[in-house]
Structure 1
Amino acid sequence: MESNLKEWVWLSSIPGIGAVKSRKLLEHFGDIHNVWSATAAELAVLPFLNRKDILNLTNVKFKQDVERHLENIHKNDIKVITLEDELYPAYLKNIYDPPLVLYMKGTIQEEEKYLAVVGSRRATSYGLDMAKKISRELAECGITVVSGMARGVDSFAHMGALEVKGRTIAVLGCGLDIVYPYENKKLMENIIESGACLSEYLPGTTPVPGNFPARNRIISGISLGVVVIEAGERSGSLITANFALEQGREVFALPGNVNSIKSTGTNKLIKEGAKIVTGIDDILEELNIYFIEENTKVSFNKNLQDERILRGLDNDEKKVVECLKLESMHIDNIARKTGFGIQLVNSILVMLELKGVVEQLPGKIFKLKL
């Protein structure tokens, strides 16, 4: 991977070429080296690129800048995980717009189970206590707690996992060489020691407001589900919950005082169908996760390989169902995984819906109907 690392970093650095366009470029050209080498004429035939995109992709300056980016990456002891790496989290890889690369300080593990815990930056003492309690208990069950290292609920979620020496992941809306907020410097060090800090942004990227909604899709996309602890009516945590729904993830919400503005968002989520959380049993049961204490290890079973699902299906239908056994998936990703054309996948999914095997979620995401 080291030989083409500069090509991945280059593509991730180009203005206007976000996750979706990057994915389409890789699909069209086959690999990252061919994208790097593409001429303006080859790029001009692609309908998803505009004139400015083509100019940026062929601009020599952006290629020359890669050496500086790599120097910053190595200087700050940052690892680069690309979409092709085995360590790239499987759940995140299968959202509609996965980050082209993840910049990381710390470690992530294969087969790690993630659950996001998010909430208000200005939470009440009740919200902070519950964020820490729920995260602590999840970590004790071997689940990695994911949050955004913001003030308030996010910070207490990380602290809860760290209290029991559990693993936790912080997804940042800036470069990993920047501590934001700065008072979380020690917390960031502890997270890196017991898990990882991740970002799709190059070192030196400042925490501008526009970065955080994009960051939130990673928090939800990497996770089995999202637990919202406290949220006002316009809380960024609701953006994370909406991403979770679009990605086919479960959304959980902690009920709060109906007179508190800090609970307006969470109570609204519950009214709209989010699962009520009063303890981690509610979460584990909904996700079909059980654990058996055996040398303090945890066994997970999502019970998605029930033979009855495949009965009466033809081979093409079975192939689509196999894609959905582990997680919900966007129709484009189903087509890519099966190798079927998008029209064929669409007709297969219609038949599977009629047979009661799959259901469609918002954003052309499909999940098994168990």
Structure 2
Amino acid sequence: MNEIVYQYWLLSNEDISYSKKVKLIDYFYDSYNLYTSQKSALLNSGLLDEKTIDKFLFNRSKYDLQKEYEKFTHTPFSFSTVEGKAFPEKLMNIYDTPYGFYYLGNLPDFSNCVSIVGARRCSAYGKKIAHELGRELGKAGFTVISGMARGVDSYGHKGCLEGGGNTVAVLGCGCDVIYPPENHLLYEEIAKNGAVLSEYQLGTNPVAMNFPRRNRIVSALSDIVIVVEAREKSGSLITADFALEQGKDIYVVPGRVGDSLSSGCNKLISQGAGVIWDINQFINEISDLCGKTPENIVVKKKKSMMDLEPELLQVYNYFDLYPKSLSTVLEESGMDYLQLLSQVLALERKGLLAEAFKNNYIKQG
């Protein structure tokens, strides 16, 4: 029988914990030997207790290898394990190496990968920066890795897709479970232009304990980890911790002192993380780290303000990359309200301002 059938059996096996599967392969050499092993050999491995072994052997005796694998081949999903040649080398030597994962789409070669992570409840500024970073990285030929969560993750994926790049989503639930549910279209787009993957069994619900664990895979598949916005205690900092353990470079988007969404990022800066102060400069810098030549790099030219009428340029300069209210600008500028509103709407039509929330605007240029 084909060895892939035994690999699928072990990957889908729920009697053995995720962390024990690779250890068992190290001991028994491959899934075929594990499948045909006797109780005495399993006990001698010292990896499983007798109760677990009895349950494992009982369920194994009822498992129809060929039938179960055949059922899986009629799904749109694929899988990769440490026993196969396609398994990413970046996952082989990390803490708690996954035995394998399911995926939908086409796996990249995982060279030149950058992860974008950050707050789910991010600010309008965080969304904008995550989207721009994703787009420019995609244009420059990088693969963007993230977790398809609400907020920064989603905007990083969307930006990469807009830039024509490949992106990979590492889920904290089964590969066939779309979470959050509003990301249904994004899930489909990622599968068409990259891959959605998960070490969890198909059908696994998104429970809180799964997400910190999956973060080690996000960082491991990446060469560089970017944190856009993060509170002092957040999942993004867990990803950063994994990245440090794995020897990856970490960059952060700095934020305002006292802003809770920036406290985690600013703390990482104090610990020596790189700072993204200009996206084009950052792309060029990491291209050197990843061995990409300047010819590979395509960067977006900044919008020119030279063609703006002086009145519009004056109003534009009152705003910044953080939401600013019309009432604040009224005080600063001394302008008439209707005159200011007219100029703001004109700048919005030109794509130079965007309304972050009611009567609060941010720069887009």
1:24 alignment counterpart:
23
CA–CA separation in structure 2 for the residues paired with 1:285 and 1:63: 56
1:117 aligns with 2:125: no
CA–CA separation in structure 1 for the residues paired with 2:202 and 2:110: 28
CA–CA separation in structure 1 for the residues paired with 2:90 and 2:12: 24
Q: 1:111 to 1:125 in 2, by over 3 A?
A: closer
1:58 aligns with 2:46: no
CA–CA separation in structure 2 for the residues paired with 1:209 and 1:267: 26
1:316 alignment counterpart:
none
1:37 alignment counterpart:
36
Q: 1:175 to 1:65 in 2, by over 3 A?
A: farther
Letter of the 2:206 partner, please give it.
P
Letter of the 2:87 partner, please give it.
Y
- SS of the aligned residue for 1:226 comes to strand
Q: 1:34 to 1:61 in 2, by over 3 A?
A: closer
CA–CA separation in structure 1 for the residues paired with 2:115 and 2:134: 9
Please tell me whether the aligned partners of residues 149 and 155 of structure 1 are also in contact (alpha carbons under 8 angstroms). yes
Q: 1:24 to 1:49 in 2, by over 3 A?
A: same
Please tell me whether the aligned partners of residues 103 and 197 of structure 2 are also in contact (alpha carbons under 8 angstroms). yes
Letter of the 2:285 partner, please give it.
E
2:92 alignment counterpart:
93
Letter of the 1:213 partner, please give it.
P
What is the Cα deviation at residue 67 of structure 1? 6.5
Segment of structure 1 superposing worse, 151-160 or 21-30 = 21-30
Taking the TM superposition and a 5 Å limit, the aligned residue runs for 1:1-370 are 3-15=2-14, 17-60=16-59, 64=63, 70=69, 73-110=72-109, 112-280=111-279, 281-282=281-282, 285=285, 288-292=289-293, 294=295
The size of the alignment, in residue pairs, is: 296
Please tell me whether the aligned partners of residues 230 and 264 of structure 2 are also in contact (alpha carbons under 8 angstroms). yes
Identity of aligned residues (%): 42
- SS of the aligned residue for 2:261 comes to helix
CA–CA separation in structure 2 for the residues paired with 1:62 and 1:293: 58
CA–CA separation in structure 1 for the residues paired with 2:116 and 2:248: 13
What is the Cα deviation at residue 61 of structure 1? 5.3
Letter of the 1:285 partner, please give it.
E
Letter of the 1:271 partner, please give it.
S
CA–CA separation in structure 2 for the residues paired with 1:3 and 1:215: 30
Per-residue Cα deviation, 1:69-98 (whole angstroms, up to 9, x for no partner): 646643430011111323222212221322
- SS of the aligned residue for 1:45 comes to helix
Per-residue Cα deviation, 1:217-247 (whole angstroms, up to 9, x for no partner): 1101111121111011221111111111112
If you compute each CA radius of gyration, which structure gives the higher value, 1 or 2?
2
Please tell me whether the aligned partners of residues 118 and 227 of structure 1 are also in contact (alpha carbons under 8 angstroms). yes
TM-score (norm 1): 0.73
- SS of the aligned residue for 2:268 comes to helix
Gaps of 5+ in 2: 299-365
- SS of the aligned residue for 2:54 comes to helix
- SS of the aligned residue for 1:262 comes to coil
Letter of the 1:228 partner, please give it.
V
Segment of structure 1 superposing worse, 43-52 or 236-245 = 43-52
CA–CA separation in structure 2 for the residues paired with 1:157 and 1:119: 10
- SS of the aligned residue for 1:129 comes to helix
Letter of the 1:196 partner, please give it.
A
What is the Cα deviation at residue 182 of structure 1? 0.7
Segment of structure 1 superposing worse, 151-160 or 51-60 = 51-60
CA–CA separation in structure 2 for the residues paired with 1:122 and 1:146: 19
Q: 1:232 to 1:68 in 2, by over 3 A?
A: farther
Letter of the 2:239 partner, please give it.
T
What is the Cα deviation at residue 22 of structure 1? 1.6
Please tell me whether the aligned partners of residues 10 and 62 of structure 1 are also in contact (alpha carbons under 8 angstroms). no
Q: 1:220 to 1:16 in 2, by over 3 A?
A: farther
Gaps of 5+ in 1: 299-370
- SS of the aligned residue for 2:148 comes to coil
CA–CA separation in structure 2 for the residues paired with 1:211 and 1:262: 23
Please tell me whether the aligned partners of residues 175 and 201 of structure 1 are also in contact (alpha carbons under 8 angstroms). yes
What is the Cα deviation at residue 145 of structure 1? 0.1
What is the Cα deviation at residue 6 of structure 1? 3.2
